[in-house]
A and B are shown apart, each in its own frame.
Chain A
């Protein structure tokens, strides 16, 4: 119904300034023949993805495990080399910046990592870990640094005394919040949040989501919010992108996507969400996606979803559907009405 709307209308109402433009981006991991018995090829973890993140918005990124969400997040902030395509940040093409050229942008693009333990230095006290970037980048003076660290800890619901402790002394969810505090200490413009609340219970999850929303308002932050918790994605996102096997298959305003998913994959994904009610245990629709996730090293021809799609036709096996360019974008030959 929005089919005729021009590309420009895809910009959210709040701000029209693009912060990050991702153009036809691909990230491949080599399959080394020494390791894998078959001939060497590559895993196309992200394959020809285009997406613009506008200042002050949150784009939710969902999709099955292994579809390339973390890889996309890591590539756009240059933690993973791009195979092809372009990344523009604040107008500058940073795709091939040298590490030195990247330094100023690095601080402005931060990531909350999926594996909090692996991303914290086990031998450093939390307080020192948070203070370091503040001092190195002169975001706080020696005199104020302690207060700033306490403030950051407070933001994520940890007591100031946490600063004196080491990562292993915290619970999983506490470590996840330390990761959030650390990312925030750089005062970024763009924050890639990779499963930032997955290890948190609903109540603290709600606090963190509210915090992210407040910070966004205050500092005009832009988020790429990766999560499989659909409830959280729905709450925080302006738009939602659905990924399947390295590609974006649907992109729409949040309300619209949940109300009226158009890609068959999105529909199945939303249906699989377990209702928080034991009485519905047996009635729960068994719409588990059938079939194996195909190999990203050797994706199916035509539409990548055709091997599992209940609506697939002959055309789907041959011709690859492209993501449309309207506000509710979908990559499917027979989108749901």
Chain B
């Protein structure tokens, strides 16, 4: 089966006052039609920048320095602005992380959804209006006929996010890039939106690139997961493998810091100690080594490659190579016992 989207050794840089900074380094992944791939990772690790690069929306100061992105066998890195615009209107749509930045503040939201639809489907005004209202209902907006006439500032945060979702879904794209699609939503509507995206996927074979920090959503939706840290993918695997036996120490830390419903209130959440390195002061060797409980001399000096360790399971960690990953698990068990 051919890949729908293929990202190969992508490197992205931004020009700024302090010269150039690399925010994404050596990122490779592929998505098959109908598949859901999730990108997770700490704030600032490059998830949104990667998605914006696929859309061709890096802006004036950003650029792809190396690598390529292909969509349906077209090389997007070489595509013209016109080709990209056409692709964005009809085949790929994106739910942006911050709804207010992508909604037009002076246009009623119903109109905004209609325009998105009319852009690539030659439907009549009346049909478009009806479809827009139906879509608003599907994303759980109550009283859609009334709300369609409201302006963005009159909606609550979660309602705005759902309007954006409606705009992205109404075009029935081949690829949906969803950047934190449910952050502003409470669990009940979140469940409804997840279900809606899955229905769309089943009906139209839409592939989804899901960018999120919410491991609950990942567990509910993803087939495959890539974990990013400081601009790089540090682990990638199918969702079951990743949750059951994470191998990268960072992924393990991430899994451990999931706030738990059974935790005691007022207690402290187990954060991964230390901070994400700044783009200007990237550590040598493994980028995670200053925060890694298992770091050794080699980790400080040499940068590990993303190594294949099993069926579509890739890990960027020296310990994996020396098959000490199991040892990590042992370490972890003892640590937990000590903590008890």
Interface residue ranges, A against B (CB under 8 Å): 29, 35-38, 62-66, 70, 114-118, 157, 159, 161-162, 164-165, 169-174, 176-177, 194-195, 198-207, 209-210, 213, 228-232, 234-238, 254-255, 258, 268-269, 272-281, 284, 288-289, 292-295
Contact = CB atoms under 8 A, between A and B. Distances in A.
B149 A36 contact: yes
Contacts of A279: 240, 243
- Sorting the interface of chain B by its residue count into under 10, 10 to 19, 20 to 34 or 35 or more gives 35 or more
Interface of B: 14, 16-18, 40-44, 47-49, 97-101, 140, 142-143, 146, 149-150, 154-159, 162, 180, 183-192, 213, 215-220, 222, 239-240, 243, 253-254, 257-261, 263-272, 275-276, 278, 280-281
A228 B185 contact: yes
B257 to A, nearest CB: 5
A65 B259 contact: no
Contacts of A159: 278, 280-281
Contact of A172 (B48, B185, B243, B275): B48
B184 A29 contact: no
Contacts of B191: 272, 274, 288
B213 A202 contact: yes
A195 B149 CA distance: 26
A220 B331 CA distance: 39
13 contacts: A38-B146, A169-B16, A199-B43, A228-B158, A230-B261, A235-B259, A269-B187, A269-B188, A275-B216, A276-B216, A276-B258, A292-B143, A295-B143
A169 B268 CA distance: 31
B48 A171 contact: yes
The 3 A-B pairs of least Cβ separation, nearest first, read A173-B43, A65-B158, A231-B259
Contacts of A171: 43-44, 47-49
Most B CB contacts (10 A, CB to CB) among A115, A203, A272 go to A203
A288 to B, nearest CB: 5
Given A117-B101, A232-B259, A277-B243, A206 B271 contact: yes
Given A231-B261, A235-B263, A173 B184 contact: no
A227 to B, nearest CB: 9
A11 B217 CA distance: 37
Most buried by B among A161, A207, A209, A237: A207
Nearest to B48: A171
B43 A201 contact: yes
A116 B98 contact: yes
Contacts of A198: 183-184
A66 B159 CA distance: 7
Given A234-B261, A269-B186, A273-B187, A35 B43 contact: no
A279 B270 CA distance: 23
B216 A62 contact: no
B111 to A, nearest CB: 13
A310 to B, nearest CB: 14
B267 to A, nearest CB: 7
Contact of B258 (A115, A213, A231): A231
A199 B157 CA distance: 13
B164 to A, nearest CB: 12
B275 to A, nearest CB: 5
